[in-house]
Amino acid sequence: MNPITIKKLALAFGLLAFGILAIGSVLMGSRIITGVIRGGLGALIFGGLILGFANLFLQEDEDASTQDMNTSDDDPDKGNQLDQTA
């Protein structure tokens, strides 16, 4: 997953958290400015968490390719140990 997609994912979760917290707070009786502040802090916290965990778990490794494995068809050792038992 490329970094732009990870940032979009974090932004989407942050906006979702803002909407739920701000609207929910106002509907439950708090003032509008309190709901907006609570939503903004929730967006920062949840967006930051998603950004951190997505960067940690979803980024592709730089060394993901298998470097020492020979995958050509003319390998002389191919099928050499098929008859051996464990």
Query: How far is it, in rounded angstroms, from Cα 66 to Cα 13?
Result: 35
| Inside any domain, residue 47 | yes
Question: DSSP label at 32?
Answer: H
- pLDDT, residue 40, reads 96
Residue, of 15 and 69, whose pLDDT is higher: 15
- Domain of residue 29: give its range: 3-57
| Inside any domain, residue 73 | no
Rg of the chain over all Cα atoms, to the nearest angstrom: 25
- pLDDT, residue 1, reads 74
Count how many domains the chain has: 1
0.85 cut: is pTM over it? Answer: no
Per-residue pLDDT reduced to its tens digit, 25-83: 999 999 999 999 999 999 999 999 999 998 888 876 666 555 556 566 676 666 666 66
Structure tokens at 77: 């050792």
